[in-house]
Structure 1
Amino acid sequence: MEITSSKIASERHNVCREFDGQIAIVTGAASGIGLAIAKKLLVEGAHVALLDFNEKGLQQEFESYGEQTLRIGLDITNEAQVQEAVADVVARFSKVDILVNCVGITGVTNLKSHEVSTENLQKVFDVNFMSCFYTSKAVIPSMLAQKYGRILHIASIAGKEGNAGMLAYSASKAAVIGLTKVQGKEYAEDGITVNALAPAVIRTPLVDAMPEVQVKYMTDKIPMKRCGTLDEAADLAAYIISQKNSFTTGFTFDLSGGRATY
């Protein structure tokens, strides 16, 4: 079943070409926000390396794009596999202009902190935070060599405010925001911008898998009283990683329907 909306599908026939000639890597590209962003980049002319544990899902979603994509199944929590994947991208396309880190899991939710499993918390940090560190560490040398790059880490409003019952997720996304601030400062003079995007509730398979009580808790906090859409996430992400966004780095963009006011 197609996860992205008809808007992104129709744009394939009305090409904007914002990213002509650029090479992007998108993690978590087989579903949800990663899938939506990857397809938007493809529509707008980029060649995209698609990274996901779900290799079958990548093949199903992107087979029709042919040589415009490189589909790589891997364990994003394995640094050696990430380094090998990025090396394959550079060997295939000669450079990396864009990195978008969308992979993420919530872990077990609707638990108070003393009930959280240490093992589960570590797993969530490995997927949500360490993957951002591994991928950015691997692509930045290529970006430094060309004095240009755009990195976007998908964080969460939970990383700013903390969601009760979601310690592992909230803390890992707060760490992603911290990583963004540090990297944004470190590479500000090198033509590389590093930003984060903090959505509130976006209707994705990740959200659909949560207990309804948890989703209601989060949605009730949104002044617009609705979930965000994949189109809204992809459109904002596309601006953040475009050449137009040249003077903002180390910043966390909100996509929260009014929930975040700082």
Structure 2
Amino acid sequence: MSLRQVWADDGTAIGLWIQLPSPITAEIAGRQPVAYVCVDTQHGVNDPMSSVDLFTAIELAGNVPIARVPWNEPGVIGKALDAGAHGVIVPMVNTRTQADAAVEAARYAPAGSRSWGPMIAGLRRPDYQRWAHDHVTVIPMIETVQALANLDEILECPGIDAVYVGPADLSISLGLPPGNNDGEPAFDDALARIVDACERHEVVAGIHATGALARRRREQGFRMITVGSDALAVRSGLEREVAAATDGDAAEPTSMY
């Protein structure tokens, strides 16, 4: 089921995050009962070649592959979609102009100016142009005080499906340590403002979280919630087993990094 269909049915899309260039972990993630698996090409150690393998593994596992692209640049966005991503999360979108640019890069004419050449994406879909129009999602990230100030203008941009909060960068921009700073008034207020604005503009609110935070985020009104990453799963799993063997303590993750 596409992300658009999940949201059209008033559902909440729970997802996972891939930072490591391993098709095996991507397939494991893709076989979980989640709505999407995002390949991180901004902070993850993934390049265009490894991304092709990851998108393919996720889709063949029966899931929806999307990508967080490194930057809001037409060639980068087009390449991720051509490689098989069903949508893009675009970092550091701070203005309406930048939101417009992300949509322009991801949509074919007349909705945008994406160049034709779905080298991998078109292999399984002879009608890829029509499919892309119906399925490709564009998701700007809201992660600075500048974006908060321009939130209504960003949400008025035609062609965006959701916005996605990066808690670490948003916290830094608010003068807080990176991470989920629940209980800090500035952080809590920012999340409430984002959800309220999204509801007014009928745009889905998404966010980086953890499994433990997912219920709270859902109650706050977020309908796209990423709850874990492959790198974090490996690290926390190993720490937990070593702690059990050595009578130590393994800290519960408070963010996805």
- TM interval, short-chain normalised: 0.3 to 0.5
